A = this chain, B = another copy of it.
Amino acid sequence: MEFFEKEEPISPFIRVSANSLKRFACEVFKALGVREEDASVAADVMVTADLMGISSHGVQRLGRYVGGIESGAINVNPEMRFVVDSYAVGVLDADNGLGQVAAYKAMMKAVEKARQFGIGIVLVRRSHHFGIAGYYALKAVENSMIGVTMTNTTPLVAYIGSVEKYLGTNAIAFAAPRKQPPPLLFDGALSVAPIGRLELYSKTGREIPAGWVIGIDGEVMRGDAKKIYDAFTKGLAALLPLGGHTEELGGHKGSGLALVIDVFCGVLSGASWGYHVKYTTVKNANVGHTLIAIDIAKFMKLEEFYERLEQMVSEIKALRKAPWTKNIWIPGERSWLTMQTRLRIGIPLHLSIVEELKSIAKRVGVKFDAETL
């Protein structure tokens, strides 16, 4: 296998083994009072993001969760309970615990329901940021099911026709098993660009293209990322929804779909929605999620589904390419290849992230002992 990384590591960086990084993150959570099994889930979600080349959601976010715990916003000893548990539907009250733990529990419940009723849908209220949506959809896949995950987030995106942050970068993930890995995995927010990319561009001095951000004056911003990110953090700009700021290219579709996600995750779940959803370090952040599992075997033989999906995949791979296209990628392929690569050669960590992890380690009284590869 050739080495493949979806996301080019930014220098200077070191590479550490995934297992040791996971162990470290787990120790940090445990030192803060998180139960071992919960710590293990939260660490796994983060390191899986790093393995997949989604470093915005990797251990660089550990500080955010640590901050949430230290501020008391994240409850390390939550009593999560199903306030609704009826046939194919459920609602989990996460009691302000870690979003990763809540979403994992909710998806396992959805899988159990799907095994009996063919489909299970479990909503989560009073939760926190849960990392990558795709992680939980893949838990359904491990059970030979289709998984769908949705979440709302703190307000970052302008609704069509407006110029201020209201919607979250509400995300939807869909995963389906294939005969051989990788599974099909679509995982995307309904904003054009993720907020992490804006932040990264501002740190690395790159130019922001037109179409990502709208200023409060209604002008689409482009160019100097530092300036734009500053405006963004001051509430003078917002991310644009998929399709952009007008209907001509479909901005009403992107913002409409983001709103639909919020009706499930925020309104129907009993969580917060729109600009009421709070950041990880704020009490009662009340983030909401939706976890759906669908049992393929109830519809057709699994083998038949695999064959049909494989045919679709091979048709897409064989389509006539655009001149600039080397490879037509199926959703999930690149993150899977990146994972295989990083399992072998390690996860690249920028030295500034290493310093941050060391400082967290010191603060909570554990050792940063990730194994350098």
With A242-B243, A300-B268, A331-B259 as contacts: A188 and B88 at CB distance below 8 Å = no
Bound form: Cα–Cα A259–B172 in Å: 14
A88–B88 touching, CB < 8 Å:
yes
A252–B188 touching, CB < 8 Å:
yes
With A249-B244, A328-B161 as contacts: A184 and B263 at CB distance below 8 Å = yes
Stretch of A35-43, A94-102, A223-231, A313-321 with 4 or more beta carbons under 8 angstroms from chain B: A313-321
A216 at the interface (CB under 8 A from B): yes
Give the residue of B214, B267, B294 whose beta carbon is less than 8 angstroms from that of A308: B267
| B interface footprint on A156-178 (CB within 8 Å = 1, 0 otherwise) | 00111111101000001010100
A163–B86 touching, CB < 8 Å:
no
Which residues of B have CB within 8 Å of A151? Answer: none
- A209-268: which have CB < 8 Å to B? 209, 211, 214, 216-218, 242-245, 248-250, 252-254, 256-257, 259-260, 262-263, 266-268
Bound form: Cα–Cα A323–B266 in Å: 29
Stretch of A45-53, A66-74, A114-122, A337-345 with 4 or more beta carbons under 8 angstroms from chain B: A114-122
B116–A119 touching, CB < 8 Å:
no
A131 at the interface (CB under 8 A from B): no
Size of A's binding interface in residues, CB under 8 A = 83
Give chain B nearest CB distance to A218 CB in angstroms: 4
A176–B84 touching, CB < 8 Å:
no
A253–B188 touching, CB < 8 Å:
yes
When C-beta atoms are compared, the residue in chain B nearest to A209 turns out to be B248
Give the residue of B87, B192, B260 whose beta carbon is less than 8 angstroms from that of A250: B192
When C-beta atoms are compared, the residue in chain B nearest to A246 turns out to be B324
| B interface footprint on A175-212 (CB within 8 Å = 1, 0 otherwise) | 01000000010101010110000000000000001010
Give chain B nearest CB distance to A305 CB in angstroms: 7
B88–A315 touching, CB < 8 Å:
no
| B interface footprint on A108-150 (CB within 8 Å = 1, 0 otherwise) | 0000000011110101000000000000000000000010000
A117–B91 touching, CB < 8 Å:
no
- A264-313: which have CB < 8 Å to B? 266-270, 273-275, 294-296, 298-300, 305, 308-309, 312
Bound form: Cα–Cα A312–B119 in Å: 28
A263–B329 touching, CB < 8 Å:
no
With A117-B87, A263-B176, A299-B268 as contacts: A316 and B274 at CB distance below 8 Å = yes
A-B contact pairs, 27 of them (CB 8 A): A88-B88, A88-B119, A118-B121, A119-B119, A119-B121, A146-B268, A158-B319, A159-B328, A160-B328, A161-B321, A161-B327, A161-B329, A162-B320, A162-B322, A162-B328, A164-B319, A176-B263, A192-B250, A193-B250, A211-B248, A217-B323, A242-B254, A266-B312, A268-B294, A268-B296, A269-B299, A270-B300
Please name the 3 residue pairs, one residue from A and one from B, whose CB atoms are nearest each other, closest first: A89-B118, A162-B319, A218-B322
Which residues of A are in contact with B by a Cβ distance under 8 Å? Answer: 84, 86-89, 91, 116-119, 121, 123, 146, 158-164, 166, 172, 174, 176, 184, 186, 188, 190, 192-193, 209, 211, 214, 216-218, 242-245, 248-250, 252-254, 256-257, 259-260, 262-263, 266-270, 273-275, 294-296, 298-300, 305, 308-309, 312, 315-316, 319-325, 327-329, 331
